[in-house]
């Protein structure tokens, strides 16, 4: 793995990203002046985007076979070692139907890598439900192992709009340091200046359901059936299927068990926050992912912008074949870039003020 090293051009510290995906977390660190030496993931479909945008090396490796020695071979000697990562959150998420998904064990593997590699600083981002998963034991075990290794730990449940992210989304952010406690920087936004949907996607060219923008292949909207086209035309921004005519309501929502599921088949509002962007955000029936005024679900480009990826972030090469489901997963799984920058800035301040 030492062959993956490259000439250092930063001095704040070097970063290795576990579960890197397409690089949302890494990109935040890059923009705050850190060198990201490598990202590690098993999903090779993320390689192009990670490497292209982060000027780094993507390593296709299963974390269960990764050792601390291998990780340490990637860090720059004489610079702070920073290990970052977001273990797949689906098993901890309220959206997950597989509550006992074996992926939760990846957090234990993350803990093992920390113990073996002994980074100076580490950070983890995940869903808040991780705190209560398996009656809280999993998270407590993770914390206790860090404490035994003499890490100073801070963690917060943050509301994403507080950091300039236009989603009604909460996340768990943990930072641990060998030298001193590093706290997440204070919120950069207040409710009176929260970003809204229109601030991020209103300027994009109009497209219809099933169409793709000629100048931007990522600005493509999924098609809609005749029934769903009628439904979205009957949907008001910020509303729900409860406002439709009875003949448009899905059979599952007419049942007692489905009446509580109001957070589907909805339109976003220009002057409000978007819902949490998920891996299926391109589907009108998968959440409140209807465009505020156009009769379609949001496009993949719009989803990426709401995740605060810059417009110029390259997800695809010109020759790369792709599927909506793949890009939807990549974008929905990513750490919002603005949150990543807040985390990176916090660590930069902490390292500078030893």
Q: Is 243 in the same domain as 271?
A: yes
d(CA 142, CA 172): 14
Q: Is 83 in the same domain as 166?
A: yes
The pLDDT score that the predictor gives to residue 103 is 52
The residue behind tokens 């998270």 is 139
DSSP string, 215-232: TEEEEE-----HHHHHHH
d(CA 326, CA 330): 6
Q: Is 91 in the same domain as 120?
A: yes
Confidence of residue 333 (pLDDT cuts 50, 70, 90): very high
Average pLDDT, the chain: 88
Average pLDDT rounded to a whole number, residues 186-202: 98
Q: Is 134 in the same domain as 241?
A: no
pLDDT in tens, 289-332: 999 999 999 999 999 999 999 999 999 888 777 789 999 999 99
The pLDDT score that the predictor gives to residue 287 is 84
Average pLDDT rounded to a whole number, residues 216-243: 87
CATH code of the domain containing 43: 3.40.50.150
Q: Is 221 in the same domain as 136?
A: no
Q: Is 240 in the same domain as 326?
A: yes
The residue behind tokens 């949150």 is 339
Which sign, positive or negative, has the C-alpha torsion 336, 91, 48, 217? negative
d(CA 112, CA 263): 38
d(CA 210, CA 1): 43
Average pLDDT rounded to a whole number, residues 100-104: 50
Q: Provide the domain count of the chain.
A: 2
Confidence of residue 17 (pLDDT cuts 50, 70, 90): very high
Q: Is 106 in the same domain as 121?
A: yes
Q: Is 56 in the same domain as 171?
A: yes
CATH code of the domain containing 305: 3.90.120.10
> For the whole model, what pTM was predicted?
0.90
Q: Is 289 in the same domain as 141?
A: no
Query: Is 89 among the catalytic positions?
Result: yes
pLDDT at 93 over 70: no
164 half-sphere exposure, CB direction, 13 A CA radius = 14
Nearest 5°: phi and psi at 15?
A: -120, 135
Confidence of residue 5 (pLDDT cuts 50, 70, 90): very low
Q: Which of 20, 46, 86, 89 is catalytic?
A: 89
Q: Are 118 and 149 in contact (CB under 8 A)?
A: yes
Average pLDDT rounded to a whole number, residues 244-267: 63
The percentage of the chain sitting over the pLDDT mark of 90, rounded to a whole number, equals 70
The pLDDT score that the predictor gives to residue 3 is 39
Average pLDDT rounded to a whole number, residues 221-239: 89
Domain range for 8 is: 2-190+337-352
* Inter-CA distances, 281 with 233, 276, 332, Å: 19, 9, 7
The residue behind tokens 């086209």 is 229
Q: Is 31 in the same domain as 46?
A: yes
d(CA 201, CA 18): 30
The pLDDT score that the predictor gives to residue 135 is 65
Total Cβ atoms within 10 A of residue 63: 19
The pLDDT score that the predictor gives to residue 262 is 55
Q: Is 347 in the same domain as 277?
A: no
Q: Is 122 in the same domain as 215?
A: no
The pLDDT score that the predictor gives to residue 320 is 74
235 vs 161 pLDDT, higher one: 161
Confidence of residue 245 (pLDDT cuts 50, 70, 90): low
DSSP string, 102-157: GGGHHHHHHHHHHHHH--SEEEEEE-GGGGTGGGGHHHHHHHHHHHHTT-EEEEEE
DSSP string, 148-203: HTT-EEEEEEEEGGGGT--B--EEEEEEEESSS--PPPPPS--GGG---HHHHHTT
């Amino acid at each position: 793995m030492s062959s993956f090293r490259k000439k250092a051009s930063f001095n704040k510290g070097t970063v290795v990203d576990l579960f890197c995906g397409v690089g949302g977390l890494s990109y935040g660190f890059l923009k705050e002046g850190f060198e990201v030496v490598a990202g590690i993931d098993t999903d090779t479909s993320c390689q192009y985007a990670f490497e292209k945008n982060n000027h780094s090396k993507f390593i296709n490796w299963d974390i269960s076979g990764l050792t601390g020695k291998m990780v340490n071979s990637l860090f720059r000697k004489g610079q702070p070692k920073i290990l970052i990562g977001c273990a797949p959150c689906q098993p901890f998420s309220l959206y997950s139907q597989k509550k006992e998904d074996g992926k939760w064990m990846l957090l234990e593997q993350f803990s093992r890598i920390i113990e073996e590699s002994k980074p100076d600083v580490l950070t983890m981002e995940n869903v808040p439900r991780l705190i209560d998963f398996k009656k809280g034991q999993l998270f407590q075990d993770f914390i206790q192992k860090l404490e035994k290794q003499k890490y100073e730990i801070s963690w917060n449940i943050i509301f994403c709009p507080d950091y300039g992210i236009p989603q009604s989304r909460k996340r768990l952010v943990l930072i641990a340091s060998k030298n001193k406690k590093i706290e997440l920087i204070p919120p950069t936004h207040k409710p009176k200046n929260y970003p809204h949907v229109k601030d991020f996607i209103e300027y994009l060219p109009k497209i219809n359901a099933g169409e793709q923008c000629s100048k931007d292949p990522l600005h493509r909207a999924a098609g809609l059936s005749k029934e769903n086209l009628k439904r979205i035309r009957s949907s008001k921004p910020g509303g729900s299927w409860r406002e439709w005519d009875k003949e448009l309501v899905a059979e599952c929502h007419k049942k007692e068990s489905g009446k509580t599921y109001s957070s589907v088949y909805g339109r976003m509002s220009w002057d409000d926050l978007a819902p949490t962007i998920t891996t299926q955000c391109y589907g009108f029936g998968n959440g409140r992912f209807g465009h505020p005024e156009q009769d379609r679900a949001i496009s993949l480009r719009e989803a990426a912008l709401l995740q605060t990826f810059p417009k110029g972030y390259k997800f695809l090469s010109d020759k790369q074949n792709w599927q909506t489901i793949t890009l939807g997963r990549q974008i929905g799984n990513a750490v919002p870039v603005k949150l990543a920058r807040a985390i990176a800035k916090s660590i930069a301040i902490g390292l500078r003020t030893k």
